[in-house]
A = this chain, B = another copy of it.
Amino acid sequence: MDPAGPRRPPTLADVARLAGVSAMTVSRLINEQGKVSRPTADRVRLAMQQLRYRPNPLARGLAGGRTQTLGVVTFDTAQYGPASTLLGIERAARERGYGVAIAAIARPDHDALRDAVLSLHDHQVDGLVVIAPFVATAGALRDLEGTTPVVVAEAGHPGEAPIVGIDQGHGARLATRHLLGLGHRTVHHVAGPDDWIESRLRVAGWRDELASAALAAPPPIETDWSAAAGYAAGVRLVEQGDVTAVFAANDQIALGLLHAFHARGLRVPDEVSIVGFDDTPESAYYTPALTTVRQDFGRLGEVAVALLDQRVADPSLVVENKQLITPTLVVRSSTAAPRHRGRG
């Protein structure tokens, strides 16, 4: 049957020949543009199956401008949040027939983000999701205006592109309110890096909630999100001596805190209560199980892709520039009413 030879993949023209139609008819069928009669469509579909035809996305991109690919810019970290979001995006994209190209940025600065965005733009991605919640990246997305639809996931600069995020301020308020509701006099905060937008939003939410209770916010301790930094912060808090409730900016920091308090003989939650943020799968198995704020990253990815897909289909579409998913508080065993007074 098959003449021997370096069997190159079948092209649209091969399908057309086999089905006895022109290439355009096949193309129309693939792109669902209608204008193809039932019998013809059936013949073409049969030919496609026989040849195991697969459209060449590169050629489609070159000729038509659509590549069926979405780009994702993410931060070069295996942390739970960004990693989960990336996978959520990938899943949602695949379900909609898109491929996914990624570019990770190593440093949280403007130029790195620009490079990543341009490189994906070169590959003519149909749309772009940016997970790069850094303060310093403001303006890096400007050039793309009117070129490629962009959605910012998790946190971003208002006005640059529509943002799909989890309501960080709300989460922080939930955590703080929970601790205050338990009877703590105040709540300390161990924050993430100040150059992350999310960090700032969590700090702001915590401050707001304290303010609502007419309480002054103690100075937050800044960290780099790591358990190691959380541990160091924990040591400082122990030395400070009057701490009964701590809101940690993520679960890793909370773990470091737990470790530090345990090492110094401070019992959690008897003497100090701790709330984390993220609800990583492990946090339920910390000792004690961590009370934390749950963020649904999978949903975030889905919503971001859904929005992007709309904008790809209709670039003129005007969308709300901010869509927030509401996080929830998961109460476990690291928080309790204060039983022992702080030493101060």
Query: Using Cβ atoms and an 8 Å threshold, which residues of chain B touch A83?
Result: 78, 83
Main SS of chain A's interface residues? helix
Residue A215 interfacial (CB < 8 Å):
no
Total residues of chain A contacting the partner, CB 8 A: 52
Residue A22 interfacial (CB < 8 Å):
no
| Chain A 281-319 per-residue mask, 1 if CB under 8 angstroms from chain B, else 0 | 110111101000000010000000000000000000000
Interface residues of A in 87-103 (CB under 8 A from B): 87, 90-91, 94, 99-103
| Chain A 92-126 per-residue mask, 1 if CB under 8 angstroms from chain B, else 0 | 00100001111110100000000000111011100
Partner of A100, one of B54, B61, B77, B102: B102
Binding site for B on A (CB under 8 A): 54-59, 61-62, 67, 69, 76-78, 80, 83-84, 87, 90-91, 94, 99-104, 106, 118-120, 122-124, 226-228, 230-231, 252, 255-256, 258-259, 262, 281-282, 284-287, 289, 297
Across chains A and B, which 7 residue pairs bring their CB atoms closest together, nearest first? A227-B285, A78-B83, A78-B84, A83-B83, A259-B285, A58-B61, A90-B104
**Can you sample 18 A-B contacts with CB below 8 Å?**
A56-B62, A56-B122, A57-B123, A57-B124, A58-B61, A58-B123, A69-B123, A76-B91, A78-B83, A99-B123, A100-B102, A100-B103, A101-B102, A228-B281, A252-B285, A255-B282, A259-B286, A282-B282
